[in-house]
Amino acid sequence: MQNKTLWLKSPSAIYTGNHLNAGNGLVIKGDKIVELVASGRTPTTTVDNYLDCSNKVITPGLINTHHHFYQTLTRAVPGAVNKPLFPWLKYLYQIWKNLDEEMIYTATQLAGLELMLSGATCIADHHYVFPKGLEQAIDIQVEAINSLGCRATLTRGSMSLGESAGGLPPDSVIQNEDVILQDSQRLISKYHDSSPEAFIQIALAPCSPFSVSTSLMQDTALLAEKNNVLLHTHLAETEDENNFCLRQYGMRPLDYLEHCNWLGDKTWLAHGIHFNQDEITRLGNANVGIAHCPSSNMLLASGICPTVELETAGCNLGLAVDGSASNDCSNMIQEVRQSLLQQRLRYGAEVITAERVLGYATTGSAKVLHRPSLGQFAVGKQADLAIFNLDELRFSGVGSPLDGLITCGAYQVDKLMVAGQWRVENSVHNSLLCEQLMAKHQKLAKQIQNSGLV
């Protein structure tokens, strides 16, 4: 749109993420929001064009805080279904050790496209599998993300403890710790953009407490502090993990995290289920972020994240689809609904509302990823937004469009804007051909799944 102004006019509902009145829409100029138009008002800004948004719901672009894009290649693999986390991992590692460059590029494109078509404008990935020949995995992901036109926080994951050292992954997918640290610095220097309007940011992310050494955890924390980037890892996903840390380190996972100098506001954790009240208080005091992954937690029967207690304690709470092999779906707006349903089982219908779970996926996720220009509608914020059409059978009869968006099961956007540019229109990405990408991805998925057969 360059410097022209666009009025997104008369939506059926708009979620601003901050309770500001934008009942009659937004005005966009360039890559920013320049006006919120209150109900019954017209813009004070001179408008060049307008888009009629009647019978549509507008939300800030959804922000996914945890994923494993490569796992789109191994959805519903017969040998892995109906297994809890540790056996599930051990089976799939025998497949994932055969990843190659074409697979990681295609999987990143497909996962990113799936997320965008479901309302996401900013996506995060945690890649930690580096078999021989895939040392440039994050570089390949940057290229794939740039082809999509969305924002991303890509984490340089790591594993240094293979089966021979008592870890879960095969030795063929782990790396030397000096190599990990050197490559982490290289990626930060090459790709990390610390500006508020950044498209690509890099974070550092040892896979889990049981896949790297204590020294690597501590050295990674030092490197992140030196470069002012975020830290990420899985923590407290299952009781098995708690028991492992007690056996291996003589302490619970959060105590171990603190021992490694990770307990701070630049850290965000995937899952965060099995914490006691004292640990929740400590997490809140340190302003640690949590990536809440309801579908994955239900599929693997891992447990239910204590979202309300974590929020009350002071944690930032974001939403995530997690890896496609532990969710089998990368749909952000459906994940909002999953959170609503799952969390109501724990806290009740009056506490867990559509607005609250939309907040996890927008303002909460933006805080988790330290993206203050995203996740809400206000003057000067980035023009990242999703428009959902209510012209479907599932929405017929809806009285509250915003609640209906979640409870009636929206699954795709009509339009998606990133930095003032339309990336999806009429539910179609403006530069990627979905059918061609799917055909390539299906071929590669069959190839890698067959490689794991013994």
**What pLDDT, on a 0 to 100 scale, did the predictor assign at position 2?**
62
Alpha-carbon gap, residue 258 to 281, rounded angstroms:
14
Q: 75: Cβ–Cβ under 8 A, 6 or more apart, which residues?
A: 324, 325, 328, 445
Q: Which of the 8 DSSP states describes residue 384? A: -
Place of tokens 């999987």: 107
Place of tokens 């005091």: 285
Alpha-carbon gap, residue 385 to 416, rounded angstroms:
6
Based on the number of CB atoms within 10 Å of its own CB, is 51 exposed (0-12), middle (13-18) or buried (19 or more)? middle
Q: What is the pLDDT of residues 332-367, one digit of tens each?
A: 999 999 999 999 999 999 999 999 999 999 999 999
Alpha-carbon gap, residue 155 to 221, rounded angstroms:
13
Based on the number of CB atoms within 10 Å of its own CB, is 332 exposed (0-12), middle (13-18) or buried (19 or more)? buried
**What pLDDT, on a 0 to 100 scale, did the predictor assign at position 225?**
98
**What pLDDT, on a 0 to 100 scale, did the predictor assign at position 453?**
62
Q: 107: Cβ–Cβ under 8 A, 6 or more apart, which residues?
A: 69, 70, 71, 72, 73, 441, 444
Could you write out the DSSP letters of every residue in 18-64?
A: S----TTEEEEETTEEEEE--TT---SS--SEEEE-TTEEEEEPEE-
Q: Cα angle at 381 between 377 and 387, to 5 degrees? A: 45
Q: Are 158 and 216 in contact (CB under 8 A)?
A: yes
Q: Are 132 and 102 in contact (CB under 8 A)?
A: no
**What pLDDT, on a 0 to 100 scale, did the predictor assign at position 281?**
98
Q: Are 227 and 180 in contact (CB under 8 A)?
A: no
Q: Cα angle at 231 between 212 and 108, to 5 degrees? A: 85
**What pLDDT, on a 0 to 100 scale, did the predictor assign at position 162?**
87
* Helices 177-191 & 137-148 angle (0-180, nearest 10): 30
Alpha-carbon gap, residue 106 to 23, rounded angstroms:
40
**What pLDDT, on a 0 to 100 scale, did the predictor assign at position 325?**
80
Q: Among positive and negative, which fits the CA dihedral 237, 242, 245, 247?
A: negative
What parts of the chain have a pLDDT lower than 50? 454
Domains of the chain plus CATH, in order, are 5-60+374-429 (2.30.40.10), 62-368 (3.20.20.140)
Looking at the DSSP bridge assignments, the partners of residue 75 are: none
